[in-house]
Amino acid sequence: MKSLSKVPGYAMLLLLLFYFGSARAEPAADFQLFDQAGNPISLQDYRGKALILHFWGTWCPFCHELQPKLDRLYRKYKNSGLEVLAISIREQRAANPQQVLAELGVSFPTAVKGDNVAKMYGVPGTPTTFFINREAQILWKTHSAKASDSQLELQARRILNLDK
């Protein structure tokens, strides 16, 4: 009977693992998008760098909660080779994603009209954030804005291979 009482605990653990991220490495798919000025952006532009790929929407308050955390990581580790690229999805025609990031004090770039890339990456909603190592392998992803600074930093250090 005691073993049955553990079932809810195991179910909660599995739910948390799904919600906060996955640990299975998988290849990151290449893509071609544009920034708001029409400049091309692709995964190949980040070859040899660790990349946090952040899918978001200007209308998403949870994204706005997460973005300052990602920006702090970017500023702390950019000299070690960390890059952050936001990809806005499900936007209205008049949306101005780069301006929204600037108003939040966020310094990393955003690509626009990323709905097809979101489908390619299996993004279920926003925010969804992928941590991709220098070999273009996805080492971790999260669908949450509630990931702690320490958890995000641990994953950033992991994709940078700083904790050998």
Q: What percent of the chain has pLDDT over 70?
A: 85
Q: How far is CA 144 from CA 32, 63, 67, 87, in A?
A: 25, 9, 11, 16
User: Mind listing the pLDDT tens digit for each residue in 18-69?
Assistant: 444 455 689 999 999 999 999 999 999 999 999 999 999 999 999 999 999 9
Q: Is the distance from CB of 50 to CB of 133 less than 8 angstroms? A: yes
- Bridge partners, 12 (sequence order): none
- DSSP assignment letter at 30: P
Q: At residue 131, what is the residue type?
A: F
pTM value is 0.85
In CATH, what number does 2-160 get? 3.40.30.10
| Residue ranges of E strands in 28-76 | 32-34, 40-42, 50-56
